[in-house]
Amino acid sequence: MRQDRPEIDNLLHSIQQFVESIVPRLDAEDRYRAQVSAYLLGICRRELAAGEASTDTAEPDALADFCRDIRAGRYDQRWDAALDRAMEQVVDKVKVVRPEYLAPDHREPGAGAS
Amino acid sequence: MENPSAIRSDAFDDIRRAVRRRYGARAAIADVTVATLGGSNRTVIFDLVEGAARRRLVSRQETYTSENSPFLPPSDQFKVMKLVHANGFPVPEPVFEYDAADGMGNGYVTAYVAGDTMPRRILSDPTYDDVRPRLAAQFGDLLALLHSLDTSAVSFLETWPDSIDPLEALRQRYDSYRESHPAIEMGLRWLERNRPAPPRRRLVHGDFRVGNFMVDRTGVSAVLDWECSHIGSGMEDLGWLCMRSWRFGNVDRPVGGVGDRSALYEAYRARAGSPVDTDAVRYWEIFGLARWAVLNMMQAYGHVFGGRRSVIYAACGRNTSMIEYDLLMTLAGRYS
């Protein structure tokens, strides 16, 4: 972590709050882009907070192998196991993008707010 | 001696010239508004003034084309719109196409149709409280009409990849982005193994959903955005319409977030004369989720590699994960 305050999450959050604050002053097209920008900043913050501890970023080769196996039909008789494994990766992605989108049993305990 | 018309720099001179070429030197344009700027279209709304007569028109110009575009070129869209309009289907009346002599690239002009396209308003604004319960049935009736049309006037659509095999077209598009998405692979594998029997081939809108309907207090006044039309199973259109992504948060109202399947299917059956194949609709809903995920990958790819930078396209790339979630939950039988 850098020495000087604020930390990176604070930097991003400060920008996010500023962008959200100017939304009412913008015209329709810019307003939409500003809302999307604030949303992307939230994703950045959650991605940084999640760090390296997620199946989404781990082992790109394993991911490619898994995909090849699915396409070749090697999971046809182990369909539920494949669904579970694919779901794990997708849930990790959605936790960073919009955690409240997940069904309750896929969320972090105590999570759900943006 | 300066040319007076060269001094006035008018952003809509090109449209004015195109109008005068067709309606005579005394035709004028007035009350010009720009509906969208940027993206891949320039949309301008204006009044065509001929003496005492005024008619509101919409000009659409393609400002960006990509080699890998899944979308019909404007001239093909225009032909499809002419066919459906001639058969009484609610679509803005196609008025004229731009040609090479206009120097404006590809595009066309249609009549302006009043109404609202915003999903948020259609789903919850009190203005539409009376008509909302009737929309699902109207969607069914419209799709049955669309699917009944003789496609010989648009037979050129048969060569489009989505007409030949939409699943193969989808797989190739997904592969072109060279990413490993297990959720999409699961979708593609399921779709490959569960292909419906070859259907009667219909004109398919390809993006028939809330967001592309002009709605007024009487219902759907026009169906827009024909750039995804192709020939295929009519159930593709029903599946896309009922997809979770197009319920805009009203997940327990499967038809566009406004209605029930029974209303949609019954209205479709009433006009089509045969029942809806509900298994096929589920197939094409799952296809739709895979397709929508890949289209979001496409937007992100264009943002990162294709010079079409926009925070909106950047968000599409990350939103892919939520569509994949819906896809897996649907495959798992948890969402319907």
Q: Do B180 and A83 touch (CB under 8 A)?
A: no
Q: Do B180 and A91 touch (CB under 8 A)?
A: no
Q: Do B315 and A101 touch (CB under 8 A)?
A: no
Q: How far is CA B202 from the centre of its chain?
A: 17
Report helix angle B311-331 to A79-97, nearest 10. Answer: 150
Smallest Cβ distance to A64: which of B180, B322, B325? Answer: B180
What six digits make up the tokens of B161?
């990849």
- pLDDT tens-digit readout, A27-70: 988 999 999 999 999 999 999 999 865 555 567 889 999 999 99
State the pLDDT at residue B6: 42
CA distance B73 to B107: 9
Q: How far is CA A23 from the centre of its chain?
A: 23
> Which of residues A114 and B201 earns the better pLDDT score?
B201
Helix extents (H) in chain A: 8-22, 28-50, 60-71, 79-97
Q: Which residue of A has its CA nearest to B325?
A: A90
Q: How many CB atoms sit inside 10 A of residue B119's CB?
A: 22
Residue A89 with chain B: CB contacts under 8 Å: 182-183
Helix H or strand E encompassing B168: helix B166-176
Q: Do A73 and B189 touch (CB under 8 A)?
A: yes
Residue B144 distance to chain A (closest CA, Å): 34
Q: Do B182 and A64 touch (CB under 8 A)?
A: no
Residue A103 with chain B: CB contacts under 8 Å: 329, 334
CA nearest to B281, candidates B328, B336, B226, B329:
B336
State the pLDDT at residue B13: 93
CA nearest to A72, candidates B263, B325, B189, B233:
B189
pLDDT band, very low/low/confident/very high, at A1 (cuts 50, 70, 90): low
In sequence order, the 6+-apart residues with CB closer than 8 A to the CB of B232 are B162, B163, B166, B199, B201, B202, B204
Q: Which residue of A has its CA nearest to B310?
A: A33
Q: Which residue of B has its CA nearest to A40?
A: B315
State the pLDDT at residue B9: 47
State the pLDDT at residue A57: 58
- Interface test with chain A among B37, B181, B189, by most A beta carbons within 10 Å: B189
Q: Which residue of B has its CA nearest to A97?
A: B318
Assembly ipTM: 0.93
Residue B181 with chain A: CB contacts under 8 Å: 67
CA distance B331 to B322: 14
State the pLDDT at residue B1: 45
Residue numbers in chain B where pLDDT is lower than 50: 1-9
State the pLDDT at residue A58: 62
State the pLDDT at residue B8: 44
- pLDDT tens-digit readout, A71-83: 999 999 999 999 9
DSSP string, B12-34: THHHHHHHHHHH-TT-EEEEEEE
Average pLDDT for A7-30: 95
Pairing outcome for strands B94-97 and B107-111: antiparallel
Residue A4 distance to chain B (closest CA, Å): 29
Cα angle B174, B177, B178 (rounded to 5 degrees) comes to 100
Amino acid in the structure at residue B181: H
- pLDDT tens-digit readout, B264-295: 999 999 999 999 999 999 999 999 999 999 99
Q: Do B322 and A94 touch (CB under 8 A)?
A: yes
Residue A111 distance to chain B (closest CA, Å): 17
